[in-house]
Structure 1
Amino acid sequence: MSNSISPTQISRRNLLKFGAAALGTSAVTATLSCVSTSKMQVNQPSAVPANLSPDDALNLLMEGNQRFVSEKRINPHQSFGRMAEVAEHQTPFAALLSCADSRVPVEIVFDQGFGDLFVVRQAGNVVTPEETGSLEFGTAVLGSKVIMVLGHERCGAVKAAIKGGEFPGKIGSLVAAIAPALTSIEGQNGDPLENGIKANVSWQVNQLKKSPVISELIAAGKLKIVGGYYDLDTGEVEVLS
């Protein structure tokens, strides 16, 4: 079997990773935009407004959560018409790195629909090269104005990291990605698990900020990155610093 790799086998993540280092964010965005828009139709959905600021995008996200909490959801963009509208092209206004927990259905929690959110889900909402590459694509190419790293109450992955020990299969890799965040909660008052979950969110936010693609967008005022804490009992999302 040949070990050669054709250009078409290069992933979007690798283009972002290597292109950002060699050419900078602008060149990567231009290159990947060509890939992303190659199948666009004339009747494509409108892009994220150019004047939508990162703060505006965060407000839209949190307004949706308040509708969810108050049981006043409007269920936007959830029709078959909207599904057809975004079938060939997407322009999500926000990107999220969320835990894979089945109790945290992101679009429902923020009262959004097809094409609104670019969601990456991973147990423990940990940052890996793949998650970083996905969020680089969601922001630099698709135009999301805000990234939220969303942890949640009673997170099993963080609980396992606090408990420690041996874990089967690849579960230990998730725990290892969370463990460095827990050093900051030593001696803290309050519930150790809640402290650990919030510390993990903060740690993962800082890991994402190390991306040259993401950091350049933040410096240019085109992107905001925040942490969030989802309360399983009330449905409310708290924005963390």
Structure 2
Amino acid sequence: MSPDEILEILMAGNKRFVENKRTNPNVSFARLTEVATGQNPFASIVSCADSRVPVEIIFDRGLGDLFVIREAGNITTPEEIGSIEFGTLVLGSKVLMVLGHENCGVVKASMDGKPVPGQIGSIIAAIKPGVEAAKGQPGNPVENAVKANVFQQIKILNSSPVISQLVK
């Protein structure tokens, strides 16, 4: 499949999800047996860890279809980039998508700028450049920050020699 065909499949699956007409492809025990010995996902998707955004469900896909990297705020730190490089270079995903979502709590926390405990601050720091880029734009500030964060993460991914070579 070409990247354009894959994107069409993803968008058609999302349309079915939105219209509550999911077909639930590739979720059978037979499919599990089929992919148990190896995987060839057609898309790699960087998504937020938010429990309201289960990637396979919102794109109406099943076992072995997607290589999903979930991290709060859909950030791309070195470990996530390594996973993405694996999904694209080693496993052969032809589409790489960074998926933001409405009302992202960690984006809102980054916008608030309040102190946070533990390692949450490292996630906030990775989102901050996108939040800063969105300041002053017309429209919904959270929506703008979510979108700017997606573009910031894409910029980071494009700095990977592995990913930039695959894009070429």
TM over 0.5: yes
Q: Deviations over 1:154-175 (max 9, x none)?
A: 0000001000021100000000
Q: Quote the Cα distance in structure 1 between the aligned partners of 2:74 and 2:95.
A: 16
Q: CA deviation at 1:73?
A: 1.1
Structure 2 partner of 1:201: 150
Structure 1 partner of 2:33: 84
* Structure holding more helix per residue: 2
Aligned CA RMSD, in angstroms, stands at 0.7
Residue 56 (structure 2) pairs with residue 107 (structure 1):
yes
Q: Quote the Cα distance in structure 2 between the aligned partners of 1:193 and 1:137.
A: 31
Q: Quote the Cα distance in structure 1 between the aligned partners of 2:119 and 2:110.
A: 13
Structure 1 partner of 2:65: 116
Q: Deviations over 1:209-238 (max 9, x none)?
A: 11111110110xxxxxxxxxxxxxxxxxxx
Aligned with 1:152: secondary structure?
Answer: coil
For 1:101, give the aligned amino acid.
D
Structure 1 partner of 2:120: 171
For 2:55, give the aligned amino acid.
V
Structure 2 partner of 1:62: 11
Q: Quote the Cα distance in structure 1 between the aligned partners of 2:22 and 2:112.
A: 38
- Structure 1 runs not aligned, ≥5 long: 1-51, 220-241
Q: How does 1:188-227 map to 2 (within 5 A)?
A: 188-219=137-168
Q: Quote the Cα distance in structure 2 between the aligned partners of 1:149 and 1:176.
A: 18
Q: Quote the Cα distance in structure 2 between the aligned partners of 1:68 and 1:161.
A: 30
Q: Quote the Cα distance in structure 2 between the aligned partners of 1:169 and 1:183.
A: 23
TM-score of the aligned structures, taking structure 1 as reference length: 0.69
Q: Percent identity?
A: 61
Q: How does 1:123-202 map to 2 (within 5 A)?
A: 123-202=72-151
TM-score of the aligned structures, taking structure 2 as reference length: 0.98
Q: CA deviation at 1:130?
A: 0.6
Whichever of the two has the greater Rg, that structure is: 1
Aligned with 1:143: secondary structure?
Answer: coil
Aligned residues: 168
Q: Deviations over 1:62-91 (max 9, x none)?
A: 111111111221110000000010001000
Q: CA deviation at 1:183?
A: 2.0
Q: Deviations over 1:161-207 (max 9, x none)?
A: 00002110000000000001122222211111111011001100111
- Structure 2 runs not aligned, ≥5 long: none
